[in-house]
Structure 1
């Protein structure tokens, strides 16, 4: 796994918050106004009628037991008719049992920009996310169940309406283009390979029009799943630009082949915690985990992929911190990034590259003085020589620029340990 690095990461996070904060706080204010009306705490129908009608329609469906069908905005002539429509329909509504003053207080809190900022910019290095969630819940007076605050399903529904992942489909404010926030974010982060696997390219590409319509971008994985942590659905350091395979096929679960046919196709549930998995905003594998290979001369051509088995293991030449060892490799099959993303198994499809690298590296090792003298005459450095000869980036900070950069370096430096 490759660490996500950017010289302006904190600045990007602040810009991102500025783009989404108004939508979040406005939604919370609309929810609050509807709740005040339902709970007979305030007559604010005139003010409410001026708000986003589509949002109001969506919110009222969530709050009532019986079906409340507000007319569409284009069927009403202005704010007076909207007010009358709201008054008539809200009187018919029977509020759900969980709609109470605590929920009203939650909406009041989420309309506070400073409190929302604490959520959106929550540090990726928080050691215990559960403690953070408890802190947030307590500050919002959300639940009395401090041991398991995220079990409150009704509150989840409300939070998901306010801190809504679909806000990323909005266009970037104050720009003349139609660039979506999600595309803006992945473009600014400029992570070109999946940090989880370092196998798949994940560039962000726009068309050439003035509108800058997005064509492709990375998926944004919730490191801590929004189903369990709804407050973190839009948190900057919880959104990991990643490839589809890591986000959906692997981290999202896979078919359990050991189960009987009645359970076929059901997803395994992997519990993500800071102690058991590594967040790429915090760290990458670095040299704590290394790719290596076993060679079995099955084919006469040395570079043939059938001659190789790729191994991903702890670096035997250094003492790896126990906590990080668990985050990378896990103490059981449900822990560790290597396990959740099936890295060693999936990397076997790149045995052809390993074969090529081994042959190239052995030639380089035998002729390195001659090769080095040649490149010195061209006024190049080791990084440029490495990139030209082995086709990838040498420095770890550049490994997010091209797929298979870590595999390439680990194999090359295993054969030529003292040159690069």
Structure 2
């Protein structure tokens, strides 16, 4: 694609987006629009989105190369969309547009994140641009790099919603959002990614463990809980974003659990990433996003009274990369029962063997965990898990899935059924 071609297309895109913006500015706030005004707004947005989609279909690699100085800059998702807004007017929402939407309830937003989904779908579809973006998201976060010396020295870190402690070469990550049963929001995603980075970067850590802490919720007071999934109260309030939560979660810490952290080290020539084995311990339940996590762990231990569920159809959203992984792990029939039908799988069921490696009484979990950590600390575990992950989920397949996920999840966030369901959950104290 020549520079003149891109320059002309950039100008046409800005003009098309500007027409839509003019129409929206002339209308009342989204929550105050009449039925006719809502139709006018939807028509204007659709026209601009057709233009954005066509533009990115034709110019995705040229756009990405300009934003990243021909892939010499490793821009994470927030930095990438911010750079795109500045360099290509009308392609993605501006900071001002996002700020205006951020102050609105989910049901009252303009839905600018759909435009980010269009942009990121095209970037991830490109083998050249998408692969570079996936690698950029595997880089350690600046926050983790800043905390690493202290964690390496003391073996402890308090990251607000996650506590860390290194004991005998095992990094114990404890999710401690007792106010919401470890239902995830953007704060927790940031804290978990930081914790995962620290565990991977600290040479004294051989194995990582993720477990839920004790709750203060009246129904679960004093009991450990793994995760209640996405925080639906935060979703209704408009505080669950496409870039900062849904995509960062998948391309950030979950990808690092699988592929490791991308950092220069002595053996970069044969292993570009630093990866380590991970164990999940499920107390109580792993709902939604909690169940998604289990699909990337090397060993899953569950309490005998625990259960797993992925209520995606009921919530109306796409359950991360579970659609990619669950069929492979559990088979297509069970995957459809869980994702489409909302089936709850108890740890003691025969079908749970596809999702859980060991089941133990709650009082025995610590001892079972200690034995599992000792087994996974062997030197041959890391290269073998690397080869298993390569065979089970090649990066190209993951990239193609995430490209479509970027747009489909954005559309789901602003669908009528999701907005209605999120509103019904708003008054609850937890994510369920």
Tell me if TM exceeds 0.5.
no
TM-score after normalising by structure 2: 0.26
Which is strand-richer, 1 or 2?
Answer: 2
Which is helix-richer, 1 or 2?
Answer: 2
TM-score after normalising by structure 1: 0.26
